[in-house]
């Protein structure tokens, strides 16, 4: 009589358990986890750098607005007669006037009519002042 071969019982898998085990699979999993950690760290660093760059850009924009505001305030004061300055002082305050025509040098806008130029400069100055004041967070 022939003997029957016994069948090996398979272990039941628990939930979340993968088939097989083994050193190579464990090593591979460890490597993959390390790669994921490194990638996550790199992403976090990139996000931090981007945030810092955005903050720097915002600060630069605020400084530019303040500079523009100051320049227009000086021009309005100069044009309206509150700031009396000679031609040399005017060129120092407004370096762009060197290449401008005589009317632009005198009134800053190129308009031959002083009242139109004054009103234009005053309007721009007030508008920029308003924008700078209202763009700041309370």
Question: For residue 27, is pLDDT > 70?
Answer: yes
Mean pLDDT of the chain: 66
Confidence of residue 77 (pLDDT cuts 50, 70, 90): low
2-6, 45-49, 58-62, 98-102: least confident range: 98-102
Question: For residue 14, is pLDDT > 90?
Answer: no
122 and 73 in contact (C-beta within 8 Å)?
Answer: no
Q: Output the pTM of the full model.
A: 0.33
For 54-64, write each residue's pLDDT tens digit.
999 888 887 77
Confidence of residue 74 (pLDDT cuts 50, 70, 90): low
Domain boundaries, the chain: 29-135
pLDDT for 39: 95
């Amino acid at each position: 009589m022939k003997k029957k071969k016994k069948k090996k019982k398979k272990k039941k898998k628990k939930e979340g358990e993968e088939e097989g085990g083994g050193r190579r699979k464990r090593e591979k999993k460890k490597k993959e986890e390390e790669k994921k950690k490194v990638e996550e760290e790199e992403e976090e660093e990139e996000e931090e750098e981007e945030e810092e760059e955005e903050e720097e850009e915002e600060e630069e924009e605020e400084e530019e607005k303040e500079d523009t505001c100051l320049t227009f305030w000086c021009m309005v004061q100069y044009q309206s007669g509150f700031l009396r300055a000679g031609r040399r002082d005017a060129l120092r305050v407004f370096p762009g006037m060197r290449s401008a025509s005589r009317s632009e040098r005198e009134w800053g806008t190129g308009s031959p009519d002083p009242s139109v130029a004054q009103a234009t400069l005053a309007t721009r100055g007030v508008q920029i002042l308003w924008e700078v004041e209202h763009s700041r967070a309370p």
